[in-house]
Amino acid sequence: MSEASEGRAETEAAGAAEPYDALVARLERVVGELESGQLTLEQSIERFAEGVRLAKEASRKLDDAERRVELLVRGADGDDEAVPFEPEGGRGP
């Protein structure tokens, strides 16, 4: 594995464990850095790639939250009930 892909994997692993709000704060910081015009081309490309990864992870967390809400609101018999959410690959409805 190359150094760049190792760094990307570490960033993705950290992002998966990071709360949504922290991901958005990091994304806002990256956007600010990109908009500052102070970065070299290489730094800009690196920050842009980081921003894309952060946006994807934040989007994934939002999708997970939406599925959780749907499970809580919609029961099998049409009545409202709380069903524990299990991520893909886990036990769940």
| Contact call for residues 39 and 47 (beta carbons, < 8 A) | yes
CATH number of the domain within which 52 lies: 1.10.287
**Would 13 be classed as within a structural domain?**
no
Output the pLDDT for position 2: 52
50: tokens are: 């980081």
**Would 32 be classed as within a structural domain?**
yes
**Would 11 be classed as within a structural domain?**
no
Residue % of the chain over a pLDDT of 90: 49
Output the pLDDT for position 12: 59
Q: What is the pTM of this model?
A: 0.64
**Would 5 be classed as within a structural domain?**
no
**Would 58 be classed as within a structural domain?**
yes
Output the pLDDT for position 39: 96
**What is the spatial distance between Cα 22 and Cα 34, in angstroms, rounded to a whole number?**
18
Output the pLDDT for position 92: 44
28: tokens are: 């806002």
Q: How would residue 54 be classed by pLDDT, with cut points 50, 70 and 90? A: very high
> What's the total number of domains in the chain?
1
| Contact call for residues 15 and 53 (beta carbons, < 8 A) | yes
